[in-house]
Amino acid sequence: MTPEPSTPNSAPPGGAVPALELAGLRREFADKVAVDSIDLRVPPGSFFGLVGPNGAGKTTALSMAVGLLRPSAGRALVHGVDVWSDPIEAKRLLGVLPDGLALPERLTGGELLTFWGRFRRLPTQTVADRTAELLRILELEEAEALGTLVGEYSTGMRKKIGLATALLHSPRLLVLDEPYEAVDPVSARVLTAILRRFTDAGGSVIISSHVMSLVEQLCDRVAIIARGQVLADGTLDEVRGGGSLEDRFVELVGTTDLAEEDLAWIGS
Ligand SMILES: Nc1ncnc2c1ncn2[C@@H]1O[C@H](COP(=O)(O)OP(=O)(O)OP(=O)(O)O)[C@@H](O)[C@H]1O
């Protein structure tokens, strides 16, 4: 059954229109329920962390939230704009770093950003200026000078150019699936500085991550999801409730302990 849709532009108690609102969002793959009618609200200006074990439904939920995967039921609203009924306006507001981003392999990073900026209908000079700045800040300038193609980029470099494409049109909400994965510590600091500047300027950021310490360091709001359901959602302090986020995560999600006889053949 399709859940009752929430009212677009409905304001949370005492707050503005959410940067992202998921209402009864659900997705099945054959018999498998990957995301089980979840409701989430991300207030504007938040740095929001979505955490959960492997296969919890994070990528599926975020893909539906940004218009990359059609939900079986429910709605996703970006600043009150329905991602599925008004995709053009929603995508203007959104910058996305999807999981397993497919990039044009035969372009350099600079060519990719130029192409992307034109596709986004940004003025030519704006594209040129922002491209040069993003390549410099993300330390991709040298690769660009060498004519390195995106197909030759390392995994971390691909993340960085993906982030640059997400930022180029100056969106209001960034949705980043595992942005720190495979990124070296120096680049991670740059990435954090960029994201903090983005939220300081009033933007909202949603990241998914498995690294609890990173989420604790960065995020002011967190949701823990497992088996397609939201198990906890709120401010970082509300969710971790006096302990660490990792403790709370393990408490809610559970652990698989290794019995004495498990994997007895290892090292034999
Ligand atoms: N295209 C698909 N076809 C079939 N099943 C899928 C598909 N995409 C995801 N699933 C299933 O949906 C569930 C949720 O997957 P999802 O990728 O959203 O999890 P995740 O939380 O992002 O996991 P991870 O942390 O490992 O990246 C998993 O059981 C997965 O096997």
Per-residue pLDDT of 46-104, as tens digits, reads 999 999 999 999 999 999 999 999 999 999 999 999 999 999 999 999 999 988 778 89
- Asked if residue 148 has pLDDT above 50, the reply is yes
Ligand 1 contact, 58 CB (< 6 A) = yes
pLDDT of residue 99: 81
What ipTM was predicted for this assembly?
0.97
CATH of the domain at 125: 3.40.50.300
Ligand 1 contact, 52 CB (< 6 A) = yes
- Asked if residue 10 has pLDDT above 50, the reply is no
Atom of ligand 1 lying closest to residue 35 CA: 14
Ligand 1 contact, 56 CB (< 6 A) = yes
The pTM for the full model equals: 0.89
**Confidence band for 11, pLDDT divided at 50, 70 and 90:** very low
The one-letter code for the residue type at 121 is R
pLDDT of residue 39: 97
Ligand 1 contact, 71 CB (< 6 A) = no
Establish if 145 belongs to a structural domain: yes
Which residues span the domain enclosing 73? Answer: 20-241
Establish if 219 belongs to a structural domain: yes
Mean pLDDT of the chain: 90
Q: In total, how many domains does the chain have?
A: 1
Question: 213 Cβ partners below 8 Å, 6+ apart?
Answer: 246
Long-range pairs of 165-168 with CB within 8 A, sequence gap ≥ 24: 165/95, 165/112, 165/113, 165/116, 166/95, 166/96, 166/97, 167/95, 167/134, 167/194, 167/198, 168/95, 168/113, 168/116, 168/117, 168/120, 168/122, 168/127, 168/130, 168/131, 168/134
pLDDT of residue 231: 96
Establish if 202 belongs to a structural domain: yes
Q: Say how many Å lie between the CA of residue 35 and the centre of ligand 1.
A: 9
Establish if 10 belongs to a structural domain: no
By three-state DSSP, how is residue 95 classified?
strand
Q: Which residue's CA lies nearest to atom 28 of ligand 1? A: 55
Establish if 217 belongs to a structural domain: yes
pLDDT of residue 264: 81
Establish if 143 belongs to a structural domain: yes
- Asked if residue 15 has pLDDT above 80, the reply is no
pLDDT in tens, 155-191: 889 989 999 999 999 999 999 999 988 888 888 888 8
pLDDT of residue 13: 47
Establish if 247 belongs to a structural domain: no
Establish if 138 belongs to a structural domain: yes
Query: Which residue of 28, 31, 32 sits with most ligand 1 atoms within 8 Å of its CB, as the best mutation to test the pocket?
Result: 32
- Asked if residue 7 has pLDDT above 50, the reply is no
Ligand 1 contact, 54 CB (< 6 A) = yes
